[in-house]
Chain A
Amino acid sequence: MLEVTCFLIDDDLDDRESFEIGLKKVPIPIKYSSAQNGLEALDFLSSLNDKPQFIFLDLNMPILSGKECLPQIRQLAGYEKVPVIIYSTSSYKADIEDCQRLGATHFFTKAHSIKTLTETLTQLLSGEKLPFVLNSTNQ
Chain B
Amino acid sequence: MKDYNSTPTYQSEYRFQRMIEEVQDYAIILMDIDGTIQNWNKGAQKIKGYQEQEIIGQNFSVFYLPEDQKDRLPCKLINEATLNGRATHEGWRVRKDGTTFWGYIVITALHDEQDNVIGFTKVTRDLTERKLAEEQKDRDAKSIEMQNKRLEEFAYVTSHDLQEPIRKIRAFADLAKAEIDDREKLEWYLGKIDSSAEKMVQLIKDVLAYSKLSHDHSQFIPIDLNAVVLDVLSEFEVLISEKQVVLEVSNLPVILGVRVQIHQLLSNLISNAIKFNHGVPHLSLTSISIVESRDDSEQESGYQITLTDNGIGFDQKYAERAFEPFKRLSSEFNGTGIGLALCKRIVENHKGSIQVQSELGKGSTFSVFFPEIISE
Give chain A's interface residues, CB within 8 Å of chain B.
Answer: 11-12, 14-15, 18, 21, 36-37, 59-63, 88-92, 95, 110-115, 139
Q: Which residues of A contact B329 (CB under 8 A)?
A: 62-63
> Is A21's CB under 8 angstroms from B163's CB?
no
User: Taking each of A21, A59, A114, A115, which has the highest tally of chain B beta carbons within 10 Å of its own beta carbon?
Assistant: A114
Contact flag A110-B160 (CB < 8 Å), given A63-B318, A115-B174: no
Partner of A62 from B155, B164, B328 at Cβ < 8 Å: B328
| Cα distance A37–B331 in the bound complex, in angstroms | 9
> Is A113's CB under 8 angstroms from B171's CB?
yes
> Is A113's CB under 8 angstroms from B174's CB?
yes
Is B259 part of the contact surface with A, judged by Cβ < 8 Å? Answer: no
Q: Which residues of B contact A113 (CB under 8 A)?
A: 170-171, 174
> Is A62's CB under 8 angstroms from B167's CB?
no
Contact flag A112-B170 (CB < 8 Å), given A36-B331, A37-B331, A62-B331: yes
User: Which chain B residue lies CB-closest to A13?
Assistant: B331
Partner of B159 from A18, A62, A92, A112 at Cβ < 8 Å: A92
Q: Which residues of B contact A114 (CB under 8 A)?
A: 171, 174-175, 178
User: Which chain B residue lies CB-closest to A111?
Assistant: B171
Is B369 part of the contact surface with A, judged by Cβ < 8 Å? Answer: no
CB-CB contacts below 8 Å: B173-217 with A: 174-175, 178, 192, 196
User: Taking each of B155, B167, B172, B178, which has the highest tally of chain A beta carbons within 10 Å of its own beta carbon?
Assistant: B167
> Is B160's CB under 8 angstroms from A90's CB?
yes
Q: Which residues of B contact A91 (CB under 8 A)?
A: 159
Known pairs A15-B168, A62-B330, A92-B160. 13 more at Cβ < 8 A?
A: A11-B331, A12-B164, A60-B161, A62-B327, A62-B328, A88-B160, A89-B167, A90-B163, A112-B166, A112-B167, A113-B171, A114-B174, A114-B178
User: Taking each of A15, A61, A113, which has the highest tally of chain B beta carbons within 10 Å of its own beta carbon?
Assistant: A113
- Can you offer 27 A-B residue contacts whose CB atoms are under 8 A? A12-B164, A14-B192, A14-B196, A15-B168, A18-B171, A21-B175, A36-B331, A59-B160, A60-B164, A62-B327, A63-B318, A63-B329, A88-B160, A89-B160, A90-B163, A92-B155, A92-B160, A95-B159, A111-B171, A112-B166, A112-B167, A112-B170, A113-B174, A114-B174, A114-B175, A114-B178, A115-B174
Q: Which residues of B contact A115 (CB under 8 A)?
A: 174
CB B118 to nearest CB in A, in angstroms, measures: 67
CB B151 to nearest CB in A, in angstroms, measures: 13
| Cα distance A36–B327 in the bound complex, in angstroms | 16
CB A61 to nearest CB in B, in angstroms, measures: 7
Give the 3 A-B CB pairs with smallest separation, nearest first. A112-B170, A92-B159, A11-B331
| Cα distance A92–B160 in the bound complex, in angstroms | 8
Q: Which residues of B contact A63 (CB under 8 A)?
A: 318, 329-330
| Cα distance A11–B337 in the bound complex, in angstroms | 14
| Cα distance A21–B329 in the bound complex, in angstroms | 28
> Is A14's CB under 8 angstroms from B174's CB?
no
Partner of A92 from B156, B167, B196 at Cβ < 8 Å: B156
Is B276 part of the contact surface with A, judged by Cβ < 8 Å? Answer: no
User: Which chain A residue lies CB-closest to B335?
Assistant: A62
Q: Which residues of A contact B330 (CB under 8 A)?
A: 62-63
> Is A61's CB under 8 angstroms from B167's CB?
no
Q: Which residues of B contact A59 (CB under 8 A)?
A: 160
Contact flag A89-B164 (CB < 8 Å), given A111-B171, A113-B174, A114-B175: yes
